[in-house]
Amino acid sequence: MTLGVVGGMGAHATARFYDLLIAKQTVAREQDYMDVLVYSKSSIPDRTAFILGHSEDNPLPAIKHAIQVLRNAGCGCIAVPCVTSHYFWDALDHVENVPILHMPDITAQFIQRRGLTRVGLLATTGTVHGRFFHDALARYQVELLVPDDQAQARLMDYIYAIKTGNTVDAQCLHDISTHLQTRGAQAIILGCTELYANNNANNIFYIDAMDLLAQAALDYCKKDERCGQHT
C-alpha cells in the first residue's frame, strides 16, 4: 500500500512528518521502507483565516483536489499533517473512497489509553474555534483546556514564524504550557504540526499529535499484506 500525504500546510511540518515516517521504520534494506507519495500543495489557502471569517478563500476545494490526485496515483490511505484542516473533516472523510486518518481522534485515543482526564491544547486559533479537538476528546470523557486570548495570539505569532522560517519566541511554548498546567492540565497536546518539543521538557508532558499520526499511518499500512512488497 502506498501512503498519500497532503502536505504544504506548512512546508516545514510536511518535511518533519516524512522524517518521522522514516525514523519509525526499521528495515534491512532501503527497498523495505514504505512507499509514500507527498503532494506538498503549499498553495492551499490559510485554514485559520477562513475559519475565523478573515478570508473568503475556502481551502476545502484545494484539499479535496490534493486527495483526489493522491488517490488517482494509487494511494490506499491518506494522511494530512495539518491539524487545522480537520475542521473540514465531514466534507473530506472518504473522498474518492480512500480512508483518511483522523489526527484528533488518534490523539484522543492515545490520551484515553494513558488514563488522562484533563489536558491542554496548543494549536492554531482556527483549531481552537473549530472545536473539533474538543469534540474528539469529549467522546473519550477528556476535558480540554485552551490558552486565554492573549496567550493564543502569542502562540499564533509563534506558529506563523515557523511557517515562514523566521525567528521564534523560544520561551513561548514553555510559558503557555506552564500556565495550562497551573489550571490542571495533566499533559499538553501539540495540536499544530508546526509545534514540537522534547517530551517531558521542563517537567511538561507533551503529546505530539503529528508523531501519533505518523505511527498510525505506519500501523494502518502494515495491515495490508501488500505493504513492503516490491516488484
Give the residue numbers annotated as catalytic, written as ranges: 82, 192
Q: Hey, what's the cell of 71?
A: 488517490
Within 10 Å of residue 7's Cβ, how many Cβ atoms?
25
State the CB neighbour count (10 A cutoff) for residue 139.
12
CA within 13 Å, CB half, 62: 16
* Sign of the torsion formed by the C-alpha atoms of 135, 137, 142 and 148: negative
Cis amide leading into 191 (omega within 30): no
Sign of the alpha-carbon dihedral angle for 223, 227, 229, 231: positive
CA proximity to 83, closest of 191, 200, 214, 216: 191
